[in-house]
Chains A and B, each alone.
Chain A
Amino acid sequence: MFADWPILSLLIWLPILGGFLVLAAGRDAPHVARRLGLAVAVATFVVSLPLWFVFERGTAEMQFQELASWIPAFNVNYHLGVDGISMPLILLTTLITVVVVVAAWESVKDRIAYYMAAMLVMEGLMIGMFASMDAVLFYVFFEAMLIPMFLVIGIWGGPRRVYATLKFFLYTFLGSVFMLVALIWMYIQSGSFLIQDFHALQIGLTAQILIFLAFFMAFAVKIPMFPVHTWLPDAHVEAPTGGSVILAAIMLKIGGYGFLRFSLPITPDASAVLDTMMIVLSLIAIVYIGLVALIQSDMKKLIAYSSIAHMGFVTLGFFLAFYIYSNTGDWEGASLGIAGGMVQMISHGFISAAMFLAVGVLYDRLHSRQIADYGGVVNTMPWFAAFFVLFAMANTGLPGTSGFVGEFMVILAAFKADFWIAFLAATTLILAAGYTLWLVKRVIFGAVANENVAGLSDMNRREFFLMGVLAFFTLLLGVWPAPLLDVMNATIDHLVAHIAQSKL
């Protein structure tokens, strides 16, 4: 019954218009702003649920399509649709936004209505980006979401917020404008901005490599890959908790999504030529950034570096496909790597959100993110400690948590490609265990470090609820990933079949 409804439009415009409503109604009334913001976020989440239940498994077709003419002069259409890659990411977005809105309940005191509005507008823009089938529409959403994020970090951020937010904006802007030129070039060739028409476009190798690099600039910055990752730790450290959660849980996924939607299917031959570069950069992210995470003294920075390392797994999984083909001669195992990368993205959405929220819980109490200021938190905050340990375990990839599934799939795929790639990728199990468990040891366990820690109060109901929801999904995805894989399989198989055909 939902198949004909404009669910996707509703998902985009409900939070955007709701955000402006919150701004209008709640400017001088924080209570109204909070309640209204929550109502909009929850309503959006509820509207997104039919996507999951009505979504037709077993087909790679775009579903829930909507089409309206938008800019006839350039043959640009308001064209929406989702497949097995974008649908789970939209659900992740609606869920995480609810979490972020609730998390801001007490911790954001200054200009709460603006904060809620920015988060909701950002939600709508991100959903629009995942749902766009038209390249210009995609780009508009892709860029537009920079504006609210820029303001969120700049207004509610830490002491070096201005530096961090300018760096964030300019880095991402720098990456994406080259993509714009590439998109326009392909429009000139194909006469349409429909992404599927780009997929079908025959492009020579030189042009493919240039287009690939343009996309690489856009998405590698976003995900982020070594060596263009440096904006992320700055942005994360200075962003308010909610901003960090949105950044880590959703915005980073946009880079991964872009690789799957644009780079792989549009430039398969360039991807095959450059796969070694991508794999090496991914491995550097996994190993080197893992080592960097070890020495951090700021909790948020540590988690930020850990995010980069985990995203290294995502890109590794995506680009292994080509390596597997050139080593073994068939595409067996390619789907495994790509699916592993996708699972890793969703799983990281839950885990990183939870980790940043946990840091936020501590920060709200002691106003410090330094590891050295804590110690023995378990004595005063047992519930918190339990959740923290759970998410730390998930972050290291313990079986039974969602962190394990994606990493395991990618490592398995890596074995098909090359033993040494698998070996290096597997070091993450040790490194992640190293930096995460060491963090747990220093913050949670041991004797009570100082008076401040002794005076800590455990989580309240609201915080408990947030952690509980995220823990539920982390464990659910860890023990029963089949439904998620089921949704993605047809799309990923179709993608692999598509990239298996050379465009030359």
Chain B
Amino acid sequence: MNFEIPNFLPAVPEMFVLGMACLILVIDAFLPDSRRDVTYGLVQATLVAAAGLTLWMMGPETVLTFSDTFVKDPMADILKVAVYVTSFLVFLYARPYLMERGIHKGEFYVLGLFAVLGMMIMISGHNLLTLYLGLELLSLSSYALVAFWRDNSRATEAAMKYFVLGALASGLLLYGMSMIYGMTGSLDIAVIAAELVAADESMNVPLVFGLVFLVVAIAFKLGAVPFHMWVPDVYDGAPTAVTLFIATAPKIAAFAFLMRLLVEGMGPLHADWQGMLIILAVLSLAVGNVIAIAQTSIKRMLAYSTIAHIGFLFMGILAGTDSGYASAMFYVIVYAITAAGGFGMIVFLSRKGYEADQIDDFKGLAKRNPWFAFIMLLLLFSMAGVPPTVGFYAKLAVIQAAVGAELVWLAIVAVIFSIIGAFYYLRVVKMMFFDDPQEGAEEPVQPSGALAAALSINGLAVLLLGIFPGLLLSLTHYAIIG
């Protein structure tokens, strides 16, 4: 076996983030608690620098390296930038939350950075093992993050649930991967795809058998119905700062994971996984939107709303066309930005000993702080898919993909459930604008400087991307179609 030095260049951002994460881990150990902001600053600087590196190295060509286990293509570049941006926002929102509760520890940021690295590897994985490695790095960091407020029993409980179910999903994934490996004899995504094209009828049953496990594992990780039960519990139980993290950027990585595995690897089996995704999509839309109505906790409500959004995401992918993948990519980026803002608003309203995680806590916000009530209004209407916010174009894009794939009925099912979904978003708007504040919470609220600026930018971005959606849509089309 001859050894040649691999081309390290495409993986420079990953190596940079890894190096920085290790360095920050060491530096943090020597910092007193009062200087924790140094860790925070370094982590944010790492994200900015990584974004710079990725943008600098961006190119239209697809480059494979490390014996074809790692790929760098336009989709990877754009998704990584989206991960940096949302993670940057998340850390920014999380900081005041952690400080107020006396859990402003370096571990949060370092674990977060390792999770970002895991996402980057998922996005660039071109081999079943690389993909699995990235996923586990992300998952293990996330379990630890959920559990990291160890004095909080609800968070600990949530972490246990998350870990047990996550481990189950990983097991299913590995099992599916082993089936595929057994049938095709390779772990390489491109080789698998080529083998599948050449496969004869007799291989169909075991292949689909393996495929089912892959799809189930992905559905578990994304939280699609009927594998969604952990989502509301974990979102609700985890500290809001952590919920913020696991609800946003990992979805972008999961989208890439799905693209690499199902579309690039299992593309020839499209007809088989399309049917599975249709079932998952319809169930997610139905259960997510209907059960969200019954929630009193805003974190649980947003958890069910996430489930419904995953249904929409699947709609774009299952169409099986390039414009469908591009629309799903657009959808997931829009979702991450909007969800970050939505959970950021909960952080903004919460105080030490007061989590503001009930929908009622939003009552009368328009009287307490009209500007941020307006920002929340934009975010909610974006989630509901009402123009002129960007959420509308995300829905437009995936519905168009479904109609283009001659799945008009699916589009109609989706819009019917999005009307049902509109109700619970409107209910929050109603509480903010039409109701009076709860007793004892009448005084105005004002977030700290950085949080206020970031939330405002986040909310206005949802509006501005809605007025000028062309650029982001063109980017996602460029990423997929070229």
Contact = CB atoms under 8 A, between A and B. Distances in A.
A73 B470 contact: yes
Interface string A151-185: 10011000001100110011001100110110011
Nearest to B434: A154
Contacts of B381: 147
B331 to A, nearest CB: 13
A358 B411 CA distance: 45
A140 B434 contact: no
A187 B439 CA distance: 52
B33 to A, nearest CB: 42
B403 A184 contact: yes
B430 A154 contact: yes
B184 interface: no
Given A72-B470, A73-B477, A155-B433, A143 B403 contact: no
B470 A69 contact: yes
A147 B386 contact: yes
A69 B412 CA distance: 29
B419 interface: yes
A5 interface: no
B392 interface: yes
A150 B384 CA distance: 14
B430 A162 contact: yes
B473 interface: yes
Interface range, A side: 35 or more
User: How would you classify the secondary structure of chain B's contact residues: helix, strand, loop or mixed?
Assistant: helix
Given A155-B433, A181-B412, A185-B408, A143 B419 contact: no
Contacts of A162: 430, 434
Given A71-B469, A154-B430, A173 B474 contact: no
B403 A144 contact: no
B423 A184 contact: no
A74 interface: yes
A139 interface: yes
Nearest to A154: B434
Nearest to B409: A181
B185 interface: no
A166 B423 contact: yes
B337 interface: no
B429 to A, nearest CB: 8
Interface stretch (B156-164, B235-243, B393-401): B393-401
A455 B416 CA distance: 53
Contact of A184 (B400, B419, B469): B400
A180 to B, nearest CB: 7
Interface in A54-83: 69-74
B387 A139 contact: yes
B422 A181 contact: no
Nearest to B469: A71
A188 interface: yes
B415 A71 contact: no
A70 B434 CA distance: 35
B356 to A, nearest CB: 22
A169 B426 contact: yes
B419 A188 contact: no
Contacts of B433: 151, 154-155
A169 B426 CA distance: 9
A178 B386 contact: no
Contacts of A69: 470
Contacts of B416: 177
B31 to A, nearest CB: 43
A166 B426 CA distance: 8
Contacts of B476: 73
Nearest to A185: B403
Given A72-B474, A73-B477, A144 B388 contact: yes
Nearest to B418: A177
A319 B396 CA distance: 31
Contacts of B377: 147
A184 B434 contact: no
A178 B412 contact: yes
Contact of A170 (B400, B423, B470): B423
B403 A188 contact: yes
B426 A181 contact: no
Nearest to B468: A70
B60 interface: no
A348 B479 CA distance: 52
A146 interface: yes
B404 interface: yes
B419 to A, nearest CB: 5
A178 B473 contact: no
Contact of B473 (A74, A154, A188): A74
A114 B386 CA distance: 21
A260 interface: no
Contact of B434 (A73, A136, A161): A161
Contacts of A136: 396
Contact of B386 (A141, A144, A174, A188): A144
Interface string B326-369: 10000000000000000000000000000000000000000000
A114 B366 CA distance: 11
A141 B422 CA distance: 18
Nearest to B404: A188
26 contacts: A27-B370, A70-B468, A71-B469, A71-B473, A72-B470, A73-B326, A73-B474, A73-B477, A74-B473, A140-B388, A140-B392, A143-B387, A143-B392, A146-B386, A147-B386, A155-B433, A162-B434, A166-B430, A169-B426, A170-B419, A173-B422, A177-B418, A180-B396, A180-B399, A181-B415, A184-B399
Interface of A: 27, 69-74, 114, 136, 139-141, 143-144, 146-147, 150-151, 154-155, 161-162, 165-166, 169-170, 173-174, 177-178, 180-181, 184-185, 187-188
5 shortest A-B CB distances, which residue pairs?
A177-B415, A140-B387, A73-B473, A71-B470, A154-B434
